[in-house]
Amino acid sequence: LLAYAVKELFPEAQVTIGPVIENGFYYDFSFHRPFTPDDLVALEKRMAELAKKDEPVTRTVMPRDQAVQFFKDQGEHYKAEIIASIPQGEDVSLYTEGKFTDLCRGPHVPSTGKLKVFKLMKLAGAYWRGDSKNEMLQRIYGTAWLKKEDQDAYLHMLEEAEKRDHRRLGRHLDLFHFQDEAPGLVFWHPKGWSIWQTVEQYMRKVYQDEGYHEVKAPQILDRGLWEKSGHWDNYKENMFTTESENRSYALKPMNCPGHVQIFNSGLHSYRELPLRYGEFGQCHRNEPSGALHGLMRVRGFTQDDGHIFCTEDQIQSEVASFDKAVRAVYTDFGFSEVDVKLALRPAKRVGDDAIWDKAEEALRGALRASGQTWEELPGEGAFYGPKIEYHLKDSIGRSWQCGTMQVDFSMPARLGAEYVAEDNARKVPVMLHRAIVGSLERFIGILIENHAGNMPAWLAPTQAVVLNISENSAAYAQQVQQLLKKQGFRVDADLRNEKITYKIREHALQKLPYLLVVGDKERESNTVAVRARGGVDLGVMPLDAFVARLQQDISQKVGPELN
């Protein structure tokens, strides 16, 4: 319907490809001038007019060569090129509505009148067939729904998402920034690094509680190791490389080969298994510049990465233990809805089908034993093994894939990992790759957007600020700040000679959990006037009472809104 409207209003435009995507669709066009927002308005109006005609949508089948000629005769050279790339002898399906015919595998609605709720969303550029050497096309994004109320809810969610954009909040709250001299790499400011450290130290405690040994592997490894591991053949286009003294190296895109080297540094007995290594491993991946997106998609990132060396018999118990731990972590970070998906063998992979059959069934068995339900994703596993994915639903209904558990029968053998079995034979361990938050950068971006910058007290870079009303109470404000800091709280003091209303308004915009106002009365009674985030006046309370409240917020990982 969109392509039909474009051809009606802009007959010289050529249509290329237009697939369905999550929450909508897009279509790419070649046209001699840029489309404008006004063009989108006109196109949407024309789409509605065409839909009202309720024209039937009919399907025909043509031999490939006949279809190529059909589109050439229509002046649609991009369509002709697409069809020409299909093997000879194949038939292709075409769909027609009114005066417009398009190449599509279908199926389609029976008539245009079924299309009632849709909206064109935005314009973007896209290279023909994704190759930067080709022409830049114009991409029109849209969304379509069965019910208007569903579309309204989706558009409202997008408005909320824009308000919560972590890039905007990162600037506003002075957390981090990006700049052209380091594309895809983060400059962390003190407040943002405070959030990072809180997340990292929390995850370090999880490592310890779950029996992991924390390790650290090198950033740069010889190309030969990446060839042995399978990364070079399957992942080299995403790897940064360098040379020194006639040797080729690569920055690690993943931590697993380094952990295998640590395992291989000594001889291990079956009695030591499962052996669990964990690392806050910094990785680099050569992502296309157009794919970079704030903290969500970067070129340099740190994972809470772990690798478990175990026997086949231990897979189920290890996966079950991980499942329990990962859910407890997500609950602490404020995520109550978690979906589980199982990503299966991709086309580009290492290992034969028998190994993949065994690996996939091992994960299915572990999920069954844990009482989980899951969705299967054919073709979306890692090149070395299938993986369980944990998808978190945030406060406005968006889904984020974070944690993974992958079973790998191939890489340990490729890299020579062995242990001494009970019968004194040498056997290759199974390697489980696991992460809970995944990329810390991305997870912090998710946290910022989930909480709209209103971080719970345990994560907030500044948990409270003390504001003096006059010069007479400045010394007392400093005293309160120091007392709270000695108890381990992150507290600032604002002693500027400004009106108290100005200071309250300014710090409220910083989304701090608590503002503590002190004047002569508070100084004389050794109290603080407490304002919680959102302008909630909690009244005057003894300092000990505020300490107890803040400690409760932190221990329960909430607040102050939920306390």
Supply 137's token pair.
């096309």
Under a CB-based contact definition with an 8 Å cutoff, are residues 46 and 66 in contact?
A: no
Query: Strand, coil or helix: what is 274?
Result: coil
Annotate 465-484 with DSSP letters as a single string. Answer: EEEESSGGGHHHHHHHHHHH
Which amino acid makes up residue 101? T
Phi, psi (degrees; rounded to nearest 5) at 80: -60, -40
Handedness of CA 552, 557, 561, 563 (dihedral sign): negative
Query: Under 8 Å CB-to-CB from 546, ≥6 apart: which residues?
Result: 514, 516, 528, 530
Interatomic CA distance for residues 59 and 345, integer angstroms: 34
Q: Spell 315-325 as b/e; 16+ CB within 10 A means b.
A: bbebbbbbbeb
Interatomic CA distance for residues 536 and 562, integer angstroms: 12
Q: Let me know if 408 is a catalytic residue.
A: no
- Active-site annotation holder among 14, 138, 303, 406: 303
Interatomic CA distance for residues 148 and 154, integer angstroms: 10
- Active-site annotation holder among 166, 276, 284, 433: 433
Query: Under 8 Å CB-to-CB from 365, ≥6 apart: which residues?
Result: 315, 316
- Active-site annotation holder among 305, 323, 394, 408: 305
Interatomic CA distance for residues 471 and 495, integer angstroms: 8
Supply 439's token pair.
């990329």
Interatomic CA distance for residues 540 and 536, integer angstroms: 12
Q: Let me know if 324 is a catalytic residue.
A: no
Q: Let me know if 167 is a catalytic residue.
A: no
CA distances from 179 to 175, 183, 256, 352 (A): 14, 7, 30, 44
- Active-site annotation holder among 79, 223, 259, 307: 307
Q: Let me know if 268 is a catalytic residue.
A: no
- Active-site annotation holder among 164, 223, 285, 442: 285
Q: Let me know if 482 is a catalytic residue.
A: no
- Active-site annotation holder among 164, 252, 345, 387: 387
Under a CB-based contact definition with an 8 Å cutoff, are residues 383 and 391 in contact?
A: no
Q: Let me know if 222 is a catalytic residue.
A: no
- Active-site annotation holder among 102, 223, 231, 256: 256
Interatomic CA distance for residues 386 and 380, integer angstroms: 8
The set of catalytic residues is: 256, 285, 303, 305, 307, 387, 433
